[in-house]
Structure 1
Amino acid sequence: MALLWVGLLGGAGFAFLTQLLLVRTVPIADMGAMAGVLSLTLLAMPAAEFGIAALWLRIFAKYRQSAFCWIKPTLRIFVLTSTATLLLLLLIGHNAWNDQHQRQLLYWLLPLPVMEALVVIAGARLQLEGRYRILAVWRALPKFTRLAVVIGAWVLGADISTIAIGYCLTSLLVLVLALSQLASMMNGSAKLELPAATPVQAISTPTSRGVLAQAWPFAMGNIFSLIYLQSDIFMLSAMHDTESTALYNVAFSIIALVYLLPTAIFNQFLLPRYHRWAEYDHDKLLRAYRLGNGAMIVIGLVVMLSLIAIAPFLVEFFFGATYSAAGYVVQTLALCVPFRYLASSIGNCLVTQDHMRKKMTYQMTVAVLNVGLNLILIPNYGMHGAAWATVLSELALCLLYLMGVKNHIFGSQALRGWTLNYRTMLR
């Protein structure tokens, strides 16, 4: 977990340095334009990836080596969903912005969602093999390539269009590397990390309809989660002004850094194990749930209070006086941290077995709530309205997850026994 966290921090550090260099390389209006376009392309990534990585983790936890027959059908679905996503991006971008400059940025950034989706899918292979050191480096690679482009632009004095072209070329390079990572999955030679003496269940090769039926809850859940987490930037760009978008984007980049701890613990390290425990060791799943909840509440509160105390000084120190107003946005978004940390622990249980459809419903509810709040608050309060929409959305999601785990997985045990005693996992 420490390796994964360091790797994610490294990737987030690359993203943070990219922001620092961008604010010193391009005008604030260009910074806002790039942030709006980039947020739209990254919002489209889950539609291209279509939940395939999460589906792989689930089917291999249940069926072991027999699940290799799912690989080629799922990748065929990926080709279709990626093509549809790119067409949808072009349609949305053409209608969202009248500015031809922003449309041109979108054209150059079109490879990003496909590349990011393939990075996630190839990362699932590394999770299944237990190769966490390589996974940590692999997930940071796209952010490192974007940092390299911005460093070059800063040195050469290039404009935002040149940076977008650089993003396009490096995305194509990483895309090719990701495809090479998937070769062992397609020919069935990947060496899976499996517990000793685990049974192997025989299954038949799924049809495309069967893959879609299993994958779509994961895909929609990922889409909805990005909507309530990052749609604020795109909506600010479309409904307000580029300066507010740039300021909010800086604030969100800091919050994204502190969100990495639960991501490393639950999404990267523990998720394959949660799938196995849900199938074969329900008692251990409950103990992991209780320990995760107790730890995330305490750590989340400490991080929240620290951010509220230092955010204005932090933003001005790193980004300069031009972006000082973003510090107050960070203080508001800091209220999200305990809810996000706790929801990461609770929500991991809802990915297992057949509960993903329930989790997707909760995520859809919060996505609709978030968009509605943004439509109301952004026109009147700008970036501060977007921040409060995010806080309320994170609170709602945490409560819905807790209700779902209580009603469908652990019953009344979901509400008691939360602990900081890690020795409970050793029983």
Structure 2
Amino acid sequence: MTVNLKGFRKNVMGLLAGQLTRLGLQAAYFVVLARMLGTAEYGAFAAALALAALVAPFSSLGANAIMVRNVSRNAAVASAEWLRALGYSVVVGLLLALGVTALTDLIAPPEVSYLTIFQVVIADVIGVKLVELAGMLWQALGRTRALIILPAVINACRLGAATVVMLMAPDIGLENWCTAYLVVTMPIAMAAVLVTTLKLGRAKAGFQLRWSDVREGMLFSIAGSAQNVYNDIDKAMLGRLSSVTSAGLYSAAYRVIDMAYAPIRAVAAAAYPHFFREGERGLYAAMHLTRKIAPLVLGLGALAAVGAFLAAPIAPLLLGADYAEAVDLIRLLALLIVLRAASYLAADTLTGCGRQGFRTLAQVGAALVNVGLNLIIIPTWSVYGAATVTLVCEGLLALVLWSHIWWVLRREKSGRGRRRLTKSRYRRRAGRRTGNRSHEPAEADKNPPLSVSS
């Protein structure tokens, strides 16, 4: 199967439009929330969000990634895969919320209460994940609209809630804001679940707890959690090892960088199912897709990094004078966009061709290095130490992943590897034989399913 580039570009443009809409809503929500809470309470809120992000990948035990893989390859299993992923997400998500809340005194800054943690974790680990799950399912089925609309709806509702609260009760306090955060999120999640379940109809197979799926899914969960560790653990650690004000400054700068990454996220979402389809035939096949999208991904990353660096002085004008120090942090973290783009290409290439185990191992290693360095550096260098550690770990991860791909390709080319699908054989299987310039793609390749993350 070859990738229909015209259809792929159309898919990317649709998702990019959705990402830009989401980006505008996120930016407005971020400005309102940062002004309303101030640096200290915003830092405490960011620490709670970071803790939720650490456990969120375990909410479905990796059933979401397995669902995308299986449905991308066979749409007939959509109902059963949805039911299984939904069951895992609700049950495990609730257990995680209770577990994280019980550990609040050990892992959260002193300014964060039990109720704050519980509400944020329920909203993000169950509510947001259910919305993402519905979007991922429809994307795997070739319908991108849900993946575009649902995240935008959540951000629009949160923006509306934050705006109303800032105008009517500006001194609401962190705990009460988290209650509003939960109340806004859960109805959207329940609506997404209900509509998706009704549209899919009854599954041919009932919900089953399959330990083989749990074991495989745990690789995806551990990889996702490790990624969130080196993305978010520094915010929680700053709140405990430095101050919630430092956490607020760093979180504000990081949010700007994350929003600048939105165009690359659109390409990643569009390419995700294609990596599974192409990678079914081995690493050479997955790399065929990677080579096609790499110029776009790295080009967007470079433009976004330059844009973030140049636009950094605008941050305190929008957020308030308390965030003046965020300018230097944004400029320091701008390089992260390019590094993350490079590691994303390598990571999804490995996942698509069935090498999730190495990806997981590399991400866990990067997470452990991140935590260890932050424990040493944050007490002395505070936010600048955390930013430097983030850059080092992302660069290290990209280097390790690409080195592994280079090593595997050399083994395959020499014939010593287990997967011996060479580039020429891949081309023959794709229908591009030497001298056959008039080759017509198979019907399934003419109209491939549209393709596919926080």
TM superposition score category, shorter chain reference:
0.7 to 0.9
Q: Deviations over 1:178-217 (max 9, x none)?
A: 321441446249xxxxxxxxxxxxx999652122022111
Q: CA deviation at 1:69?
A: 4.0
Q: 1:95 to 1:209 in 2, by over 3 A?
A: same
Q: 1:409 to 1:93 in 2, by over 3 A?
A: farther
Work out the CA distance in 1 between the residues paired with 2:65 and 2:410: 22
* RMSD (Å), alpha carbons: 2.8
Work out the CA distance in 2 between the residues paired with 1:285 and 1:385: 36
Indicate the residue corresponding to 2:149 in structure 1.
137
Q: CA deviation at 1:294?
A: 3.0
Q: Is the 8 A contact 1:300 1:338 kept in 2?
A: yes
Q: Deviations over 1:342-382 (max 9, x none)?
A: 22222211112421111111111111111111111111111
1:146 aligns with 2:158: yes
1:299 aligns with 2:300: yes
> Amino acid of the residue matched to residue 60 of structure 1?
V
> Aligned runs of 1:19-418 on 2, under 5 Å?
19-66=30-77, 68-97=79-108, 99=110, 102-112=113-123, 113-158=125-170, 159-160=172-173, 161-183=175-197, 184-185=199-200, 187-188=202-203, 207-266=209-268, 268-279=269-280, 285-311=286-312, 313-408=313-408
Work out the CA distance in 1 between the residues paired with 2:213 and 2:331: 43
Runs (5+) with no aligned partner, structure 2: 1-11, 414-422, 424-431, 433-439, 442-454
Taking structure 1 as the reference length, the TM-score comes to 0.86
Work out the CA distance in 2 between the residues paired with 1:168 and 1:412: 50
Q: 1:306 to 1:376 in 2, by over 3 A?
A: same
Work out the CA distance in 1 between the residues paired with 2:282 and 2:48: 45
Work out the CA distance in 2 between the residues paired with 1:396 and 1:100: 33
Q: CA deviation at 1:63?
A: 4.3
- Runs of 4+ aligned residues of structure 1 deviating over 6 Å after TM superposition are 203-206
Give SS of 1:225's match.
helix
Work out the CA distance in 2 between the residues paired with 1:265 and 1:328: 29
Work out the CA distance in 2 between the residues paired with 1:396 and 1:259: 19
Work out the CA distance in 1 between the residues paired with 2:74 and 2:143: 20
Q: Please, which moves more after superposition, 279-288 or 393-402?
A: 279-288
Q: Is the 8 A contact 2:58 2:218 kept in 1?
A: no
Q: Is the 8 A contact 1:262 1:344 kept in 2?
A: no
Q: Please, which moves more after superposition, 10-19 or 325-334?
A: 10-19
Work out the CA distance in 1 between the residues paired with 2:73 and 2:14: 26
Q: 1:281 to 1:209 in 2, by over 3 A?
A: closer
Q: 1:306 to 1:205 in 2, by over 3 A?
A: closer
Indicate the residue corresponding to 2:451 in structure 1.
none
Q: CA deviation at 1:68?
A: 4.7
Give SS of 2:153's match.
helix
Work out the CA distance in 1 between the residues paired with 2:353 and 2:202: 26
Indicate the residue corresponding to 1:194 in structure 2.
none
Give SS of 1:50's match.
coil
Work out the CA distance in 2 between the residues paired with 1:299 and 1:140: 22
Q: CA deviation at 1:14?
A: 2.1
Q: Is the 8 A contact 1:303 1:337 kept in 2?
A: yes
Q: Is the 8 A contact 1:340 1:394 kept in 2?
A: yes
Work out the CA distance in 1 between the residues paired with 2:105 and 2:201: 37
Q: 1:133 to 1:76 in 2, by over 3 A?
A: closer
Work out the CA distance in 2 between the residues paired with 1:246 and 1:282: 42
Q: CA deviation at 1:104?
A: 3.1
Q: Deviations over 1:84-111 (max 9, x none)?
A: 2112211232323473653332233232
Q: Is the 8 A contact 1:72 1:186 kept in 2?
A: no
Work out the CA distance in 1 between the residues paired with 2:113 and 2:193: 30
Q: 1:180 to 1:8 in 2, by over 3 A?
A: same
Work out the CA distance in 1 between the residues paired with 2:207 and 2:47: 41
Taking structure 2 as the reference length, the TM-score comes to 0.81
Q: 1:396 to 1:100 in 2, by over 3 A?
A: closer
% same residue: 20
Q: Is the 8 A contact 1:378 1:386 kept in 2?
A: yes
